[in-house]
Structure formats: C-alpha cells, structure tokens
Amino acid sequence: MRYRAHVRPIRRLMILALAVTASMVTAMLATPLSASADSPSPVTRAGTWLVDQQGRVVSVHGVDLVRKTAPYYPFNFGDADAALLATEGLNAARIGFIWEAVEPKPGVYDDAYIRRIVSLDNLLAAHGIRTLIDFHQDSWSRTAGIAQLGNSTGDGAPQWATLGANPHNAQDDFQAFWDNKSASDGVGIQTHFLRAWQHVVRMLDASAGSANIVGIDPLNEPYPGSGFGCPQFATGCPSFEQGPLARFYRTAIAALRGAGDTHVIFPESDPTTGSRTSLPPFDDSRVGYNFHAYCFPLLGAGVVGVTPPPGSDVVCPAQELPAVASAAADVERFNAPGFLSEFGASDVDTDNARFVDLADEHFWSWTYWAYYAYTPQDPANSAAQGLLVNEHEPASEANAKQAKLDALSVPWAQAVAGTPRAYHFDRATNVMTLGYSTGAPAGARLDPGALTTIFVPQRHYPHGYTVRVDGGRVVSPPSARVVEIAAGPGGPNHDVSVTIAPR
C-alpha cells in the first residue's frame, strides 16, 4: 500500500511500544449509541493535516449531497437522513450551490434559495456532520454539454453567463469564463461568479452552523476552455492549470478572504484520469487540495444508464492505483490536507470499498458520490450511485443499501491526539490497526488531555469488539460506539498503537 513519506509501518510502532504498559478492553455493542463523540468545531490547517480546536488531527468520511436541477437543493433530505449518516459514522457531507439558482439575473441574488442551503448546513451540524461547501457544475450549464460524457446538457451556470462562441459546447462556455467575458450588464462573468461567492459566504459565516464547515470548494471540476486543446478526462493541461486556473484560484482566495471567510479552501484541478496536476501551491496558510477519482468504465456505464453488475470492476485497480499515487504526490508537493471529494457513483461495492481503504491509509478526508441518484433528472448522475433503496421513502437502515454501507462505514479515527503514522482495515478479518505519535503535528498545539476518538461501526462488529492499546489507555465505556483513548506514560512524544478486532 502507498503511504506518505512520513508514514511508518505499524509493526515498527508495536516494537517501539513493547516497554509501554498495554491496556486491554473488551467491549460489546449491545445497542446503537450516539455516533459522534464531539460536536463539530472549527478546523484549520497544520501542514498536511486538518486540526480541530484541541489541536487534534481530524479527517471526515461522508457523502455528496447535491441537487443539480430545480429546486437545486436536496429538498427531501431531513432528520432521518442525517441520523442514518451519523449512525454509520458518516460525519461529513459535501453540499453544493448551483450558480443559476444563486444568481438568476446578473447581480440579483436569491437569498431564499441560499438560506435553504444554509439551513441544510445547520441541520447537518445538529447531527455532528461537517460540510464541504462547493459551487457545483457539470458541463457548465443546462444548454451546454461535453461529448466525452455522452450528454448534451449540464448544470451550474445561469443562461446569462453561458456566453461561449458555441453556447451548446461547454469548452467554449468555459473559455468565455476564463476570459471573463462581459455579461449584459458589462461586468465579467467570472467577476460575477466571485461576487456571488462573497455574498453566499457572508450568509454562511453569519449562520449558526458556520463552525461546522470543514472547507470551501470554489468550483467543481473546472474544465479547460476551448483555447487550450486539452480534452477532458484524459491527461492534465499544464498551460491551463498554470495560467487561467491558477489565476482564478488566487482571485477566488482573495475574494473569500476579503469577504471575511477563514475556512480552509480546497481548490480542484482539471479533472483527469489520474495525471499529476500542474497547479502551483497557493500563498495562503489555509488551503488544501481537493481531487476526484473514478473507475471510468463503471462511471461511464452508470451515466449512460447501464448498471454495471457486481464484480465488473476488475479493470479498475490498474486505473485507480496510479490515480491515488498521483494524488498522494500532489498532496505532498502542496504540503496540504488532501480531500477526495468524489469517487464511486456505482453499486459495485468492491470498488467503493477499495477507494475508502486507499483514502484512509493516506488519512485523506473523503465524500462518496452520492447520497441520492436523482436520475434521470440530474445531468451526469449514475442511476446506481445512491445510498437509499427508494429515494421517495424516508431514510432508515431498512431503506439503505447494506452492501454499500458495508463498504463506506468502517472503523476509523475521527480525531487523533497527535500525528497519525499508519492505518489499515482488514476487511477479511474486520481488524483495524492505527498508529500515531502523541506529538502534535508541526504548526499545531495539542491540548493537554485531548483524546483520540475512533468510530466503531456495529455492522462490522455485531457481537462486540476488543481494543488493545500500546502506549495509551481506553477511557470510554465498554459499549461505546466511539472509543476514546488517552495517552499513556512515555513522555510528551511517544508512539501509540491501537488494534480493534471482533469479539
């Protein structure tokens, strides 16, 4: 498996910790308990990590929750849905604004629509679910399209900002955006877009759930324009990424900071099948790196309406492993937190599980695409991507795809009181191993007494679990859904190893 340069094998941690007293805890999951040990609090960046107010390293697991067509928000998502996610340890959602709904006319904002997304953030916060906020688009707008996707329509931009030489071609429309072509009021459409972001972020930051936001994703899947000669979903486009895209992100970061926003910003690069990005690092201490990865044979089949049968992902590892390696190299180059904000989009759960495990071994945050299918209405969606069996019925365990939850709901460290070193979840045995140092990551200050918290899903441990800790001790109740670990003796910076296994 691929680890960062500073990630050491768990075996070495076990050897180093031989002199430390080991604590052994046996726990039973008799009844469902609260899935979250902590209420969401603001996070910031410390090098390659996201850290909370206690200085603990946090990463999130979750789903994408975006509606691309009218009414442009997930109107059927409620308390039952949020409770289902929280129960399964999915403590994040990537929620999206659609520019067409935000700014239906140049310079005119629909605050009622914006408040609906703000209310969604508040609802998720009440269930301990953090959010990544994006402005979403696929193929630019309702009248544009990209041939590689096999669709003639898209979503995102308003029609007044669809100004390409051929407005039915997304590459031309994106070129107009990178050129900041003027709208009917004489103001450039990119300028309009960033002003809309400023308006939205002021409303978000004034809301009760502002602290719940884990980050800002300025623009979903920014395609090169028609002037760069770079096809989508094939290779990188250095001239585009180092030029117009880098300038856009610098301007977007300045605009968001100018509006008073302090959240971590997660730029995306040109969507490809796994090529290294040519985006430069950005001069802001609160910037991460956000990327997508799919098995394109599975994604393509789902988008055109063909459901891949289980086991059809045999071609995926050859595509996915290089994509993950490229993302890992980019994250290291940026020295920034990594966020895999899209993957999956199918019911091939061996593939979904593989992405989860690869992301977790790199300690990346991730959101699975997507909670809803919203097909055939939403452009570029797969009919098999949703988590619910029937999206017209209330959310519940009975109405959820259990195999998909088996893939997504795993034991993992929601917060690490120190610096993560190694993680692995063996799906054949349901044994999870975690190693970390009790020293805070560079740039963070760890509160005395801060606890490491590990979510333990009942579905993988139906008869309970055992916890072995070397270098620390378990302080949570035996039947806790979230295991809490305090550092043991061994000095201010020693190694801790944790093993969770079925009882």
Least reliable range by pLDDT among 59-73, 91-105, 137-151, 201-215: 137-151
Least reliable range by pLDDT among 14-23, 203-212, 236-245: 14-23
pLDDT at 300: 77
pLDDT tens for 41-51 read 899 999 999 99
H and E: helices and strands count for the chain: 12, 19
Residue 334 pLDDT level (bands cut at 50, 70, 90): very high
DSSP string over 334-389: HTS-EEEEE-B-SS-HHHHHHHHHHHHHTT-EEEEB-S---TTTSTT--TT--SBS
Residues 6+ apart with CB under 8 A from 151: 139, 145, 303, 379, 380
**pLDDT higher at 401 or 13:** 401
Q: Do residues 63 and 387 lie in contact, with contact meaning Cβ atoms separated by under 8 Å?
A: yes
Can you read off the two tokens belonging to residue 93? 């959602």
Can you read off the two tokens belonging to residue 362? 């790199």
Mark out the alpha helices in 38-110 (DSSP H runs): 79-87, 99-102
Q: How high is the mean pLDDT of the chain?
A: 89
pLDDT at 236: 78
Residue 88 pLDDT level (bands cut at 50, 70, 90): very high
Bridge partners of 369, per DSSP, are: 344
Radius of gyration of the chain (CA): 22
Residue 270 pLDDT level (bands cut at 50, 70, 90): confident
Q: Do residues 139 and 145 lie in contact, with contact meaning Cβ atoms separated by under 8 Å?
A: yes
Can you read off the two tokens belonging to residue 431? 């044994």
Residues 6+ apart with CB under 8 A from 398: none
Residue 234 pLDDT level (bands cut at 50, 70, 90): low
pLDDT at 272: 67
- Coil, strand, or helix at residue 108? strand
Tokens 């790199």 belong to which residue? 362
pTM, full prediction: 0.91
pLDDT at 146: 65
pLDDT at 249: 98
Q: Is the pLDDT of residue 298 over 70?
A: yes
My answer on whether omega of the bond before 297 falls inside 30° of 0, hence cis, is no
Q: Do residues 234 and 273 lie in contact, with contact meaning Cβ atoms separated by under 8 Å?
A: yes
How does strand 431-437 pair with strand 419-426? antiparallel
Can you read off the two tokens belonging to residue 503? 């009882």
Residues 6+ apart with CB under 8 A from 284: 253, 257, 265
Q: Do residues 486 and 415 lie in contact, with contact meaning Cβ atoms separated by under 8 Å?
A: no
Mean pLDDT, range 64-87, rounded to an integer: 97
Q: Do residues 479 and 29 lie in contact, with contact meaning Cβ atoms separated by under 8 Å?
A: yes
Largest CA distance in the chain: 72
Kindly list the structural domains of the chain, giving each domain's residue range(s) and its CATH number in brackets, ordered by start: 1-56+417-503 (2.60.40.1180), 59-409 (3.20.20.80)
d(CA 66, CA 135): 10
